[in-house]
Structure 1
Amino acid sequence: MKLNEAQIEDLTGKVFRTIVSNGKGGILQSELWKELDLTSRDGSRVAIRLERRALIRREKMLENGRWTYKLFATKLPIDTSSVENAPCLTCPVEHMCSLDGSYSPITCNLIEDWLVLSLNMANQQRRQQEQHQNHHQAPASETEEEDPAK
């Protein structure tokens, strides 16, 4: 089935959003085609179109003995999550706040509480990721014992 220009643009947007959602790590072309149910031909055409627009870069690489491309977004959206809940954004005295004023970020309890909470949450997420990684990695001694050839 031949795609019309509107369908190609829609597909181009979907492909680009998928590449961006994979972040700095990028995505293999073959994984992207499977995820979006595309033929290799259509997918390659869209990737080349995005590359010509300088929205992505394609890096040739050897994967499982076959040459393929890994696709990366040239620019990723800025992550604002670290400042989204900053108390300054909703502070009723923000307009009077200054380093040498009676309201100062140096002595602000709201900022201090927000920083402590943010650090605690970041540490908790890091610990959970470490536990998840440790849980899914088999120790070398276990894999050696399971090998009946030894």
Structure 2
Amino acid sequence: MESNMSIEETALNLIRDSKEGIFQNELWKMLEIDSRKCSRVVSKLLDDDLIIREQAVSNGARTYLLKLKEEEKPCFDLLLSGDMFSPCAGCRDACQPESCEKLTSWIANLNDDEKTEDK
């Protein structure tokens, strides 16, 4: 365990790196701390709304499965391309997507955004 990183940061990184989540009874062993201290670390991460905790059984023992809390992305972000709002949202035109100039322009803007992010 790195000394310049807090125990909470280390625990959060371990939880983040485990795609399926990590059992609390395994986390304290990985952190090389006792279960009581691990409970305090987990409580802090829960209070900070960084993780979620589900009741679970691991090797016959009751424990908790800890997972990183996924950030909720605002739905409107999916409708934005740069500063252009999707022309299809609320559109009343009876056009075909393949021949809609507004949609084609919006998609081209999406492609430009992706190229800019890759650089």
CA distance in 2, matches of 1:49, 1:40: 14
CA distance in 2, matches of 1:51, 1:38: 18
CA distance in 2, matches of 1:54, 1:27: 17
- Are positions 1:65 and 2:57 aligned together? no
Deviations 1:103-145 (A, max 9, x none): x9xxxxxxxxxxxxxxxxxxxxxxxxxxxxxxxxxxxxxxxxx
Please list, as runs of the form range in 1=range in 2, the aligned pairs for 1:103-142 lying within 5 A after superposition: none
3-state SS of paired residue (2:63): strand
Identity %: 34
Partner of 1:112: none
Please list, as runs of the form range in 1=range in 2, the aligned pairs for 1:1-150 lying within 5 A after superposition: 10-23=6-19, 25-75=20-70
* CA deviation after TM superposition for structure 1 residue 38, in Å: 1.1
Structure with bigger strand share is 2
* CA deviation after TM superposition for structure 1 residue 74, in Å: 0.3
Question: Structure 1 length as normaliser, TM-score?
Answer: 0.43
CA distance in 2, matches of 1:29, 1:64: 12
Moved over 6 A (4+): none
Partner of 2:91: none
Structure 2 runs not aligned, ≥5 long: 72-103, 109-119
Tell me the C-alpha RMSD between the 2 structures. Answer: 2.8
Structure 1 runs not aligned, ≥5 long: 1-6, 77-98, 105-150
3-state SS of paired residue (1:46): helix
Alignment: residue pair count: 74
CA distance in 1, matches of 2:7, 2:62: 24
Question: Structure 2 length as normaliser, TM-score?
Answer: 0.53
